[in-house]
Amino acid sequence: MDNKILIKNQNGESIECDVLFTFDSTETNKSYIVYTDNTKDELGNTKVYANTYDAYSESGSLGQIETDEEWATIESIFASINDSKESSEKNE
Q: Specify the pTM.
A: 0.82
Domain that holds residue 11: 4-90
Contact between 81 and 25 under an 8 Å Cβ cutoff? The reply is no
- pLDDT 10s digits, 9-55: 889 999 999 999 999 999 889 999 999 999 999 999 999 999 999 87
Number of domains observed in the structure of the chain: 1
Sheet with 4-8, side-by-side order of all strands:
4-8, 14-25, 30-40, 46-53, 62-63
